[in-house]
Structure 1
Amino acid sequence: MIIAPLIVGLAWLWALRSIVSDAGALGSGFHAGIGAVLTALAVAVAWVVGYLTFFAGGKWLQARSSGNTRIRAAAKTPTLVYGAVTLVAVVCAVLLQPHLLWWAVIFVPLTAIALMEINRGTPRSFIAGAAETVASAFLIAVLASVGVGASQPVSDGVTLTRNLFTAEVVDSLPAVMWWSLVWLALYQVGTVLYVKTMIRKKGDRAWWTGSMVFHAVSLVVVVFSVTSEHMGILPWLLAVVVFGWALWRSYAVPKDATSTEPKTAWTPKKVGMTEIPAVIGVTVAGLVAAVLYDGPLVLFIG
């Protein structure tokens, strides 16, 4: 949830900047190179340290709700320190490329939903998990827009043109990038459901059925993503294989785990370890989709 979108997002940043450069539209000096690097670094720091802030802040909220003063006191300092670093990183990124402020439309509501679930005492609810994983996938789009936003057509790297809070750079992101985001989001949300059927909702037939239905619909969506213009066959095939496997395991593994004589001891650690190949697969699919992308990129900010 932390590393996969970072890898795919950086791949899209590189791919889109390469296309802008080939078109002769890349600016010079600060905005052509170091500016984009610094922006990407600021976004990466904000993402990783922001996760630490969220984790520590969640512990603080839980302790506050339960009245556990010891945990509350222990979580206070890391929450404040991580939070300060995250804030500085976010401010730096927005100052370098103001259009990144647009992504608050996505991250603020999703983070608020997850925090509300934590405050309610249900940090591991499906709603909280879905909000966190969808927000995670959107890091791909944030980093992709860094690559576009550092180009000369965006007023030499600054999107303070007609409106600070602009979505114009976002509109220029290619459809294939959005599909790589959808692949990761669907996989991660599906994993939240699958893990529920293996641990907290183990043996619950309604959750098991819901998980299988979600995985089946996800596979259909991924199969139809091949219709996107400039979609590479190799990343698409890899995504289809990953989601086909995910659908199979959403049925077979919970069935084995709840049988009278399971073939495998499905401990939480075992469940997590078996997801590693799929996580790598969906990450590589998004990465390869970016590397193979050679479609047009239209920038129309004056």
Structure 2
Amino acid sequence: MIIAPVLIGLAWLLGLRSILSDAAPDALASGFRGGVGTFLTALAVTVAWVVGYLTFFAGGKWLQARASGNTRIQDGARRPSLVYGAVTLVAVVCAVILQPHLLWWGIVFAPLTLIAVSEIRRGTPRSFIAGAAETVASAFLIPVLASVGVGSATPVVDGVTFTRSLFTTDVIEALPKEVWVTLLWLALYQVGTVLYVKTMIRKKGDRAWWIGSVAFHVAALAITVLTVTSDHLGLLSWFLAVMVLGWAAWRAYAVPKDATSAEPSTEWTPKKVGIAEIPVVVGITLACLLAAGLYDGPLVLFIH
């Protein structure tokens, strides 16, 4: 949830800048408005994301301890919350100064973060709602980083980067449809995994949750199959995504059923459940990376 969207987003960032460079050698500016600015912005966004997760984790422990009156945990979580929070704030400010259009993404991340924090305050940090909000926010890092690559191109400089018109959607509208397809693949997999893990641990043996998990995975697979209609999507990446979501659907059905049977084939501990997910998350990440690497469509900038 932390690393996969960073890798995919950076792959799109590099790919889109490469296309811009090939299509119009003079399209990319230099210095802080070009390569240097792109690198620093991508670094700031990545730091904000990774350290922001640490802030959320430590802050969540602090909120829970405060609600329960546990002063020992509260004292232990206060310092990391403040330190991580300060680093995250600095990284966000640096990214926005370099490319102000990134402010638009607050429209997505603010409500998702609010939902997750609200669940923590309610004492249900591991609820499905909290998990879904966190994983969807994770997937949205892909277009954020992709827009960094487009955001420092010369055609964009006067209208977006270093501008007083902070809330412009031009750069975001310029992102190819295939960027959103990879966001969809990752989000479907991750939200489905939240459901699957529920049926293996906290909701183990709950038939309603199991049926809901299987139904979601089947729908996710069907949606992934339909993404083949995207104009410039590499068929290899699409095929791999379908295979991964297909496998995820099968394991959502079969593994909880085996785990709750009279004679399970293996003892499904939380550790084993986590280890078994490693090849699946690697597979969906690889599918998204291939989509970025094999993208051959035109990059149309709706910017004047």
Task: Specify the TM-score bucket, using the shorter chain as the normaliser.
Answer: over 0.9
Which secondary structure state, in structure 2, belongs to the residue aligned with residue 250 of structure 1? helix
The corresponding residue for 2:21 is 21
Correspondence 1:79-158 to 2 at 5 A: 79-155=81-157, 158=160
Task: Give the C-alpha shift of residue 161 in structure 1.
Answer: 4.9
The corresponding residue for 1:44 is 46
**1 CA distance for matches of 2:166 and 2:149?**
18
Normalized against structure 2, the TM-score is what? 0.97
Which secondary structure state, in structure 2, belongs to the residue aligned with residue 153 of structure 1? helix
Task: Give the C-alpha shift of residue 157 in structure 1.
Answer: 8.3
Give, as a single letter, the amino acid of the residue that structure 2 aligns with 1:21.
Answer: S
Task: Give the C-alpha shift of residue 168 in structure 1.
Answer: 1.4
Runs of 4+ in 1 over 3 A off after TM superposition: 156-162
1:162–1:30 CA distance, 2 compared to 1 (3 A): closer
**2 CA distance for matches of 1:139 and 1:30?**
22
**1 CA distance for matches of 2:280 and 2:183?**
15
Task: State which of 173, 178, 181 in structure 2 corresponds to 1:179.
Answer: 181
Give, as a single letter, the amino acid of the residue that structure 2 aligns with 1:22.
Answer: D
The corresponding residue for 1:8 is 8
**2 CA distance for matches of 1:161 and 1:36?**
16
Task: Give the C-alpha shift of residue 19 in structure 1.
Answer: 1.0
Q: Contact (CA 8 Å) 2:119, 2:130: kept in 1 or not?
A: yes
Task: Give the C-alpha shift of residue 300 in structure 1.
Answer: 2.8
5+ residue gaps, structure 1: none
Q: Contact (CA 8 Å) 1:190, 1:211: kept in 2 or not?
A: yes
**2 CA distance for matches of 1:181 and 1:300?**
21
Deviations 1:70-103 (A, max 9, x none): 1111100000000000000000000000000100
5+ residue gaps, structure 2: none
Task: Give the C-alpha shift of residue 229 in structure 1.
Answer: 0.9
The corresponding residue for 2:238 is 236
Give, as a single letter, the amino acid of the residue that structure 2 aligns with 1:101.
Answer: L
Q: Contact (CA 8 Å) 1:159, 1:166: kept in 2 or not?
A: no
**2 CA distance for matches of 1:161 and 1:229?**
33
The corresponding residue for 1:60 is 62
What CA RMSD, in Å, does the superposition of the two structures yield over aligned residues?
1.1
How many percent of aligned residue pairs carry the same amino acid?
73
Q: Contact (CA 8 Å) 1:8, 1:140: kept in 2 or not?
A: yes
Task: State which of 185, 188, 191 in structure 1 corresponds to 2:193.
Answer: 191
Which secondary structure state, in structure 2, belongs to the residue aligned with residue 275 of structure 1? helix
More deviation in 166-175 or 28-37? 28-37
**1 CA distance for matches of 2:176 and 2:208?**
38
**1 CA distance for matches of 2:157 and 2:251?**
49
